[in-house]
Amino acid sequence: MKTPGIVIAGITSGVGKTTISTAIIQGLLKRGYKVQPFKIGPDYIDPSYHNMIAKRRSRNLDVWLMGINGLQVSYLENSIDSDFTVLEGVMGLYDGMSGRNNFASTAHVSRILDLPILLVVDTKKAARSLAAITLGFVKFDRKIRISGVILNNIASERHLRYIVEAFESKIKIPIVGKIFNDKNLIYHERHLGLIPRMELNAKLQDIIRNNSKIVAEHLDFEKIIQIGKKMNYLDKSKVEKFSLDLVNRKSRFQESKKLLDSKVKIMIALDKSFNFYYQDNLDILHKRAKIEFFSPLEDSCVSQDTAGIILGGGFPEVIADKLETNSNMRRSILDLAQKDIPIYAECGGLMYLTKTISGYKNNKKKHKMVGLFDADTIMTNKVTLGYTEALLNNNQTYLGKIHKVRGHEFHYSNVVINNTDLELIYDLKRGKGIRNGRDGFHTYNCIASYMHTHFMNSTFSDRFLECCVRYLRK
């Protein structure tokens, strides 16, 4: 049985895809549907907004990170018990890894899953011209199925009339949403996008839920549901083979730790500073280990029965003063690292493991961090953004002989290395990394890099967990 679904795409970034996606989720729930949300591309923040409305964990779908089979597996496994799927796109519809093709774009994912697209058009500063722009999107790639249009930020009824008249004469695709400009519907942003849900107080979260209800009133759900049901089956043969490979990998891992009486315990940092995790990654770890969460902000230490630590991305720079104040936690992590506990850190986690963080909002005060690596983190006004591909140049880490690792980087900071002998284990074929196309600090049993990774299409998590097993056996 197939699950109906739609993709919410934009003509550019910033046209209101998240607001409209949560509104569609809200409206479908009101009509009795069980909705599974997804976010296309490497994004941690937008899924947290989906979660607020859907009461189900939103999943990321990224071709570069997961591979086509991995993406299909995640989609099928997580939508099997839902009545409708809503996929929020990334950037503009056709924006992917290059200008040559659609690879890793919203259009690419919609094509892989054979899902219809609702194109969000920001109507500010134009009227009849919007029909020309939309027609260009429709004709740009005939294989991409744009099945509906949502008009956002309409200035007035007259403005709407001009747009509708232009569309009626040129475009046969139905308009399924007409949303008027409302300053109350604008969400606060920061340098990496929307502010994460964990930093929003109860009042702001209620505002977001209420906004979703308001926007939903301006959407034609009869047409949206009808469009969502016009999709085909995926080719499940390759997906089933890929799923079997994942099961075999799991069996081999279980065999490697069969002498243990219970699952290894992994402590994962989760609070206002560290909260960038792919739900699929957490699920993969949860199936193979005992997962517990801790707060580098609030807790005093990491428990001694821990077999491994994961420090995800986030915004440690925003409340670096509070991270500095919790000296007990910083000492606890440093002590465990020096005792060879396996640690995996990404971006914000990397920053936390350096000696200091400074420069947020031009504040030059250096806030002390863990100090595992002889380097300092300095915030900048320049973004480093894009997919990464790394070649491992060191086979002495717990990653063993993994040759290639794919990921992405997204940050407004530089890590300044004080000790020129500090080892960098990744040579980047794609991406910037910590310095000169190299990434990944390594010491003891700790790996820390700017690169965010996905566990679906690699043995990365297997190697980390195997190291945790060896650590327990010492």
Interatomic CA distance for residues 300 and 298, integer angstroms: 7
From the CB of residue 381, how many other CB atoms can be counted at a distance below 10 Å? Answer: 8
Tell me which residues are annotated as active site: 347
Taking each helix axis as running N to C, give the angle between helix 460-473 and helix 236-256, from 0 to 180 degrees, rounded to the nearest 10: 10
Q: Strands, DSSP E only, in 245-361? A: 265-269, 274-276, 290-294, 308-311, 313-314, 343-346, 356-358
| Closest to 179 in 3D by CA, of 159, 202, 207, 206 | 159
Tell me how far apart the alpha carbons of residues 76 and 238 are, in angstroms, rounded to a whole number: 12
Element of type H or E holding 20: helix 17-30
Q: How far apart are CA 391 and CA 297, in angstroms?
A: 34
DSSP codes, 162-173: HHHHHHHHH--S
Q: Which residue, chain included where needed, has tokens 């976010």?
A: 39
Residue 274's beta-bridge partner residues? 314
By the 8 A CB rule, do 176 and 149 touch?
Answer: yes
Q: Where are the alpha helices (DSSP H) in 326-442?
A: 327-338, 348-353
- Alpha carbon 383 to its chain's center: 17
- How many other CB atoms are there within 10 angstroms of residue 471's CB atom? 19
User: Taking a C-beta distance cutoff of 8 angstroms, is the pair 111, 143 a contact?
Assistant: yes
Residue 326 has which token pair? 């919790």
Round to whole Å and give the CA distance between 177 and 144.
20
Instruction: Tell me the C-alpha distance between 308 and 465, whole Å.
Output: 8
CA distance 96 to 88: 15
CA 381/CA 284 separation, integer angstroms: 35
Amino acid at 192: L
How many residues are present in the chain? 474
> What's the rounded Cα separation, in Å, for the pair 78 and 446?
32
CA Rg value for the chain:
23
> Where do we find the tokens 């409206």?
27
